[in-house]
Amino acid sequence: MEPTMPTDEHDSLLVTVVEDDRLLREMLQQVITVWGFRVQTASSGEEGLEVLCLRPAPILLTDLVMPGKGGVWLVREVRKRFPETIALVLTGQHESEPAIECLNAGALRYLLKPPCLHDLRNALNVAAELVNLRRERASYQEDLERTVRRQTQRIRRLSLSGIKSLNIALEARDPYTSGHSQRVRRYSLALGKALGLERRTLRKLALAACLHDIGKVAIAESILNKPGRLTVDEHRTIQRHPVLGEKILRPIIRNREVLGAIRGHHERMDGKGYPDGLSGEQIPLLARIISVADCFDAVTTIRPYRGALSLSETAALLNELAGSQLDPHIVAAWLKLIKGAVDAAPGPREAFREALTAPTGRP
Ligand SMILES: [Fe+2]
């Protein structure tokens, strides 16, 4: 077999030669180097292991019988610690049993002493081929995994942007809810910042707030936009939207905080909410924030069955709901924010909304 070893110092394979006979060791070092390999040497099994621990090498060429722990021990240790290392064993004519033991321990081949240089070169080239094949396979595997990861992320991004568009289109069909998710996103972000949430959490909050009502895409429009009072069954149907939202998004968004916030945005502090009847801090923080933002937007928006509340009425209502429906700390933070915004832009509610939401861009 033709030598396959590259001659470049950095690319050539490193061979660990372990041989107690100094002359043979030096001879092996010289010829193996001439064949294009790099060589490190040791004179016993123990020293061989030390050398390998300091500088792992893909090929081991070891004598079998040496003072101290011999070649069988070394092959076993090396296979245990460096399973990728390929071991070749040098044996005397009468050492067939330990040689077979070495093969059983994972050595690739054994060569009789004194070694025939042609056979030795062949064995080293086969070992080198194996090492290169393993490296190629590993790099191919890495490339493949990287590509799959990239494509999966791309598919997720595309699916998510499709769902966001669907949500916007759904809201746009109803003048009363048009822009609701974007306003809830902005209010939630303003709140999250006021509460000192870190950037990564703000990003999750923004995503959850934007998609909190996405489950409504699975509910009939005749129920969603019904002008009059809802029947008990219709009410139950609408109450399924947090669970439906989580279900729709689970294949695309794997983050539990985002999914938990969507599922929990209609839970109440007193445990009377839905879908799980969680109470107090059992309700995820992001869900509690979205609840306040959602509630604020709902009462300050004109609906078919009522007009919008004024700001002072809204503040009074939020205070009333704090503790039973809404988290009182978050309501307090929101009322503080409202106060600042009202002072900055006294006047009609729309101007107030602009003042409140304008400075909060992407988290
Ligand atoms: Fe909702």
97-110 pLDDT tens trace: 777 888 888 888 88
| Average model confidence (pLDDT) across the chain | 85
Is 38 within the bounds of a domain?
yes
Does residue 157 lie in a domain region? no
* Range name among 2-11, 73-82, 222-231, 247-256 with the lowest pLDDT average: 2-11
249 and 178 in one domain? yes
Asked if 111 and 88 touch (Cβ cutoff 8 Å), the reply is yes
Residues 83 and 179 in one domain: no
Å from CA of 189 to ligand 1 middle: 17
Annotation marks residue 80 as catalytic: no
The 10 Å Cβ neighbour count of residue 170 is: 19
Percent of the chain with pLDDT over 70: 87
pLDDT of residue 95: 66
Catalytic residue among 80, 216, 247, 339: 216
Q: How confident is the model at residue 348 (pLDDT cuts 50, 70, 90)?
A: very low
Q: Are residues 228 and 330 both part of a single domain? A: yes
According to the model, what pLDDT value does residue 246 have? 95
Instruction: Give the residue from 353, 191, 360, 332 showing the smallest Cα distance to 261.
Output: 191
Confidence of residue 214 (pLDDT cuts 50, 70, 90): very high
Local structure of residue 273 (DSSP, 8 states): -
- In tens, the pLDDT along 240-273 reads 999 999 999 998 888 999 999 999 999 999 999 9
Tens digit of pLDDT for each residue in 279-314? 999 999 999 999 999 999 988 876 665 666 777 788
3-state SS class at 63: strand
* Rounded distance from Cα 294 to ligand 1 centre (Å): 7
Question: What's the confidence (pLDDT) of residue 99?
Answer: 74
- Tokens representing 8 are 């470049």
238 or 2, which is more confident?
238
Q: Assess whether 55 and 184 both reside in one domain.
A: no
CATH number at residue 221: 1.10.3210.10
56 shares a domain with 195: no
Nearest to 180 by CA among 294, 267, 259: 294
Range of the domain at 36: 14-142
Tokens of 113: 């002493």
CATH of the domain at 133: 3.40.50.2300
Q: What is the pLDDT of residue 298?
A: 87
Question: Is 167 inside any structural domain?
Answer: no
pLDDT (0 to 100) of residue 10: 40
Residue 154 counted as domain residue? no
The residues near 241 (Cβ < 8 Å, ≥ 6 apart) are 213, 215, 216, 218, 219
Q: Answer whether residue 55 shows pLDDT above 50.
A: yes
Q: Are residues 183 and 121 in the same domain?
A: no
Q: Which helix (H) or strand (E) holds 61?
A: strand 59-63
Query: What is the CA(345)–ligand 1 centre distance, in A?
Result: 29
The alpha carbon of 180 and the centre of ligand 1 are apart by a number of angstroms equal to: 10
- Residue 111: pLDDT band (50, 70, 90) is confident
User: How far apart, in whole angstroms, are the C-alpha atoms of residue 240 and residue 263?
Assistant: 10
Residue 74 pLDDT > 50: yes
- Give start and end residues of each alpha helix (H) in the chain: 22-34, 45-54, 71-81, 96-104, 117-172, 180-194, 199-210, 221-224, 232-238, 241-249, 256-263, 285-299, 311-321, 328-344, 349-357
Provide the pLDDT confidence category of residue 341 given band limits of 50, 70 and 90: low
Residues 264 and 349 in one domain: yes
Same domain? For 204 and 89 the reply is no
Whether residue 9 has pLDDT greater than 50: no
Ligand 1 centroid to residue 252 C-alpha, Å: 20
Structure-model confidence comparison of residues 310 and 184, the more confident one: 184
What pLDDT sits at residue 306? 60
**Percent of the chain at pLDDT exceeding 90:** 55
Number of domains in the chain: 2
